[in-house]
Amino acid sequence: MSRRRIALLTGGGDAPGLNAVIRAVVKSAVGRGWEVLGIRDGFEGLLSRSGLMPLVADDVRGILQTGGTILGSSNRGDPFRFPEEKDGKVVRVDRSAEVVAKIKTLSLDALIVIGGDGSLSIAQRLGEMGVPVVGIPKTIDNDVVGTDLTFGFNTACQTAMAAIDRLHTTAASHHRVMVIEVMGRDAGWIALKAGASGGGDVILIPEIPYSIQAICQKFAEREARGARFSLVVVSEGAHPEGAGKVVAQTADKSRTGYERLGGVGHALAREIEDSYDTECRVTVLGHVQRGGTPTTMDRMLGTRFGVGAVNMVEAGEFQRMVALRCEQITSAPLADVTGALKLVDPDGEEVRALESIGVSFGRPRRGSEADV
Ligand code: F6P
């Protein structure tokens, strides 16, 4: 087996399980006699002098159980649209050729990119420029196409569910509507899974625009049965039907390249209080969902993805992403999985099952659904 030199980076938002992936890549590669370079702070590390760190087995000892990433991450370093200040303004500059040159200078046999759709799209474009890349899907949002799961999602759901459990008792004690805003951007997976597991009465996701009347109808039905409180789990990207828009903290995309979502919980609480005689309280979980010790599932998935990616490098399977499908580790071409998001099916089995037991998704109830 020939000696290889590989590098890995973590791009975009951190996710619990990242260190499990890094640990698995390093152990698996070092075990084959290969050299591993860690790139600091995502793609930015390939454009700076101090962005590289050699990684050996000792460097990954004791990190399996820690959140975050020992490599650091960034969502500002897209080399194709690198932000630079000019005359007090942020302008975008294409520095991809520098990245490709750096990879050649380093004589890398492979670049492993651990990231969500944004970082994987960058990896795909670098692949088109001749860089041998392997992707590993990461995001708490679970919205990467081509894989049943991304690591980080399970821990985020666990954190959100635990918060909903705590809010349940205080909601019941005070006869209030508790609104819990969770992350997920354009995908409602966290709201769906954590909301369902936490016994949410109303779950609002971007894939199903909500009607305030349908939400209030659910409160009224519960109240008629003596339940004078409700739990509303709302995904940050959820929006009202009609011309309703997502709520953003800031529309300024100049630094990150994307709109920073957040605030729908408060907007919704105001709407609810205006339409229904109740008292609302709002909890925005925010980045709490990105931190903490990873669950068993995320440590295991991260480890399998890390080893799977190294196996792909050995087999020369480049321009592909390691994936989980039907419990098996497999892979998919980056070109097929980037540029689109895996979203919740509004009429899928999970949504229908929840509706059949009385969960409201903020849309009018259909005849077959229970009022329970
Ligand atoms: O993609 C992961 C995620 O946590 C989203 O759920 C959220 O909208 C976004 O990242 C927040 O990004 P930032 O860390 O830039 O605030």
**Residue of 141, 143, 201, 298 marked catalytic:** 141
pLDDT digits 0-9 by tens, 300-315:
999 999 999 999 999 9
Residues 267 and 310 in one domain: no
Which of 151, 185, 287 has most ligand 1 atoms within 8 Å of its beta carbon, as the pocket-test mutant? 185
The pLDDT of 189-201, averaged and rounded, is 98
pLDDT at 365: 78
For residue 184, the ligand 1 atom closest to its alpha carbon is 6
pLDDT for 269 equals 97
Residues 212 and 89 in one domain: no
Residues 264 and 314 in one domain: no
My answer on whether 180 and 276 are in the same domain is: yes
**What CATH number did the domain enclosing 69 receive?**
3.40.50.450
Q: Are residues 172 and 256 in the same domain?
A: yes
Mutate to test the pocket of ligand 1, among 41, 120, 183 (most ligand atoms within 8 A of CB): 183
Cα(190) to centroid of ligand 1, in Å? 12
Same domain, 161 and 266: yes
Neighbours of 310 (CB within 10 A): 28
**Six-digit token string for 262:** 């957040």
* Calpha distance 113→321 (Å, rounded): 9
Domain identity same for 224 and 173: yes
CA–centroid distance, 357 to ligand 1, in Å, is 31
Whether 70 maps to a domain, the answer reads yes
Q: What is the domain count for the chain?
A: 2
pLDDT at 259: 84
Q: Which domain holds residue 313?
A: 5-151+294-337
Examine residue 363 and state whether it is found in any structural domain, yes or no. no
Q: Residue 185 CA: which ligand 1 atom is closest?
A: 8
Calculate how far, in angstroms, residue 260's C-alpha sits from the geometric centre of ligand 1: 7
* 285 & 298 share domain: no
* Residues 124-182: tens digit of each pLDDT: 999 999 999 999 999 999 999 999 999 999 999 999 999 999 999 999 999 999 999 99
Q: How confident is the model at residue 226 (pLDDT cuts 50, 70, 90)?
A: very high
Q: Is residue 365 part of a domain?
A: no
Same domain, yes or no, for 37 and 56? Answer: yes
Per-residue confidence (pLDDT) for residue 152, from 0 to 100: 98
* pLDDT given for residue 96 in this prediction: 97
pLDDT value at residue 71: 97
**Looking at the domain assignment, is residue 192 inside a domain?**
yes
Instruction: Write down the pLDDT at residue 75.
Output: 84
* 320 and 199 assigned to the same domain: no
Residue 14: active-site member:
no
At residue 183, the pLDDT reads: 98
- Name the more confident of 298 and 243: 298
Do 30 and 142 fall within a single domain? Answer: yes
pLDDT digits (tens, 9 = 90+) for 61-96: 999 999 999 999 988 889 999 999 899 888 999 999
Question: Residues 11, 108: one domain?
Answer: yes
Of all atoms in ligand 1, which is nearest to the CA of residue 116?
Answer: 1
What pLDDT, in 10s, does the model give residues 94-116?
Answer: 999 999 999 999 999 999 999 99
Burial of 161: CB neighbours in 10 Å, binned 0-12, 13-18, 19+ = buried
Is-contact 339 184, C-beta < 8 A? no
Q: pLDDT value at position 242?
A: 87
Does any domain span residue 372?
no
Mean pLDDT calculated for residue range 197-209: 98
Q: What pLDDT digit, counting tens, does each position of 238-295 carry?
A: 999 987 788 888 767 666 667 889 999 999 999 999 999 999 999 999 999 999 999 9
* Position 371 pLDDT exceeds 70: no
| pLDDT tens-digit series, residues 155-171 | 999 999 999 999 999 99
**Is the minimum distance from the CB of 160 to ligand 1 under 6 angstroms?**
no
Residue from 78, 140, 205 to probe ligand 1 pocket by mutation (most atoms less than 8 Å from CB): 140
CA atoms within a 13 Å half-sphere pointing along the CA-CB vector of 10: 26
Residues paired with residue 359 on neighbouring β-strands, in sequence order? none
CA-based nearest residue to 79, from 91, 61, 93, 69:
93
Is pLDDT above 70 for 369? no
Question: Is pLDDT of 350 > 70?
Answer: yes
